[in-house]
Amino acid sequence: MPFQEKSKTSSYHYQMMNEMNFYNLPEECISTIFALTTPLDVCRCSPISFSVRSAADSNIAWEKFLPSDYQNILSTSVTPIQDFSSKKELYFHLCDSILIDEGRKNFWLERSTGKKCYMLSARELSIPWGHDSLHWCWKFIPQSRFSEVVELRTISWLEIGGKINARMLSPKTTYVAYLVFKIADRAYGLDSVPSETLVEVGNQASTSTTYLRRQNSQKQNLEQVYFTNWIQVPKSRVTDGNAKVPQDRKDGWMEIELGEFFINNGDEGEVKMSLMEIKGSHLKGGLILEGIEVRPKAE
């Protein structure tokens, strides 16, 4: 037998022997090994055999996938959390999200990794003149997970800011912050001048420019010309080919990326996120704001 074929055969038998030894391990050992992987890995391995499935369902593995502070998070839930028969059942319940902190935040786990995700409601954000009914209108809409959203009526100085403590997020994780919103039918002035975004934490800072409304209709183009002529801003400031644009979400809202950041050990302090359009001096309205979402960067 050629050396190469013998090597392949030996490797195959060695692999089979390892697999047989793995399956013969006590269930507790298999569960401990699973705890060192990810929820996605465990779910993929579960159908292999009855013993593996039993180990994959054990609390030993799923306890590790839950955040270390999950008890504290559960204690702030708006709706009392029922007793679950297993940590796996609790894990997947948290993947569906819960309202916490008097309904001002939404929390959930990323299903495949167990990483923590948050959305800060509009009430949790800093919005200049946000309590002035001439500029902003607080209201309930059934499409939101929160009891209130806020709609911009009219304003020239648009500024939205939010912050979250780094310790609330998963360590060793790259996150992305998004503004989540809708555009009212009567919206105006939102695409005349690009907004500036900023995310900063520790010594990290991520900046960009973005349009809050896609520039894809005759109405918007006419609107842009009107406001551009009125405020007489340089063309380079009004048309930014590198500016980001909103993306549709599965939940019926839109989102725009504010920036990304890396959480190391959670000792970075506060993560500050903002969007500003304060240079145009023109009036704008029709932005319906749900909040700012922070979730792990998609790989």
207 and 76 in a common domain? no
42 and 157 in a common domain? no
Q: Which of 78, 96, 114 is the last residue of a domain?
A: 96
The phi-psi region of residue 110 (left if phi > 0; otherwise alpha if psi is between -120 and 50; otherwise beta) is beta
145 and 89 in a common domain? no
Any domain includes 18: no
Q: Which of 67, 96, 125 is the last residue of a domain?
A: 96
Structure tokens at 265: 């050990």
55 and 186 in a common domain? no
Any domain includes 225: no
Can you give the residue range of the structural domain that contains 92? 23-96
Contacts of 244 (CB under 8 A, 6+ apart): 197, 208, 209, 210, 211, 256, 257
Which burial class, exposed, middle or buried, applies to 283 when counting CB atoms under 10 A from its CB (0-12, 13-18, 19+)? middle
**pLDDT in single tens digits along all 299 residues of the chain:** 443 443 444 454 345 435 556 667 777 787 788 888 888 888 888 777 777 778 778 888 899 999 999 999 999 999 988 889 899 999 999 999 999 999 999 999 999 999 999 999 999 999 999 999 999 999 999 999 999 999 999 999 999 999 999 999 999 999 999 999 999 999 999 888 889 999 999 999 999 999 888 665 545 555 555 544 444 443 434 445 567 889 999 999 999 999 999 999 888 899 999 999 877 778 999 999 999 999 999 87
How far is the C-alpha of 108 from the C-alpha of 110, rounded, in Å?
7
Q: Which of 54, 78, 96 is the last residue of a domain?
A: 96
Any domain includes 131: yes
Domain count, the chain: 2
What would you report as the CA-atom Rg of the chain, rounded to the nearest whole angstrom? Answer: 25
Any domain includes 150: yes
Any domain includes 78: yes
154 and 89 in a common domain? no
